[in-house]
Amino acid sequence: MAIIIYEIPNSVKDLFQQGENTYRIIDYSIQEMDNIDSMSHFLECIDASDDDIYTNDGTQMVMIHPDFDHKLVIDSGGLGDFYSHGYNVTIFEPWKPNK
């Protein structure tokens, strides 16, 4: 049986509610991924849309949400192989959404 661990938020809003945090995906049942692919997979898993992404540098994303007054930076990195991925989330700076 393949190892499958998804310790990630349930949604973009959940990501913002949790603030600074560390997440991981370990999934030997899917195709191997580099850090750019794993970031895309993470964003798909939390249903992020283009409206949620402020900047995209491949392995680093700055995200926004209209209900929160700060940006989040997400950095993706490997945890030892192409099936194990880590994500570090930090609060970036104040941000005023257009309401």
Within a domain: 22: yes
Residue 1 pLDDT > 80, yes or no?
A: no
Residue 32 maps to a domain:
yes
> Please, which pLDDT band fits residue 2 given cuts at 50, 70 and 90?
confident
The structure's pTM equals 0.90
Q: Do the domain assignments include residue 50? A: yes
Tell me: the pLDDT tens digits for 43-84? 999 999 999 999 999 999 999 999 999 999 999 998 888 889
Question: Locate tokens 């209209």: which residue?
Answer: 66
Please count the helices (runs of H) and the strands (runs of E) in the chain. Answer: 2, 6
Q: How many independent structural domains does the chain possess? A: 1
Q: Is residue 31 part of a domain?
A: yes
Domain range enclosing 23? 4-94
What is residue 94's predicted lDDT score, i.e. its pLDDT? 77
Whole-angstrom Cα distance, residue 54 to residue 33?
A: 23
In a domain, 99, yes or no: no
The pLDDT score that the predictor gives to residue 99 is 53
Please tell me which residue, 37 or 2, carries the higher pLDDT value: 37
| Contact partners, residue 80, CB within 8 Å, separation at least 6 | none
3-class state of residue 14 by DSSP: helix
> Residue 59 class from Cβ within 10 Å (0-12 exposed, 13-18 middle, 19+ buried)?
middle
- Would you say residue 75 lies in a domain? yes
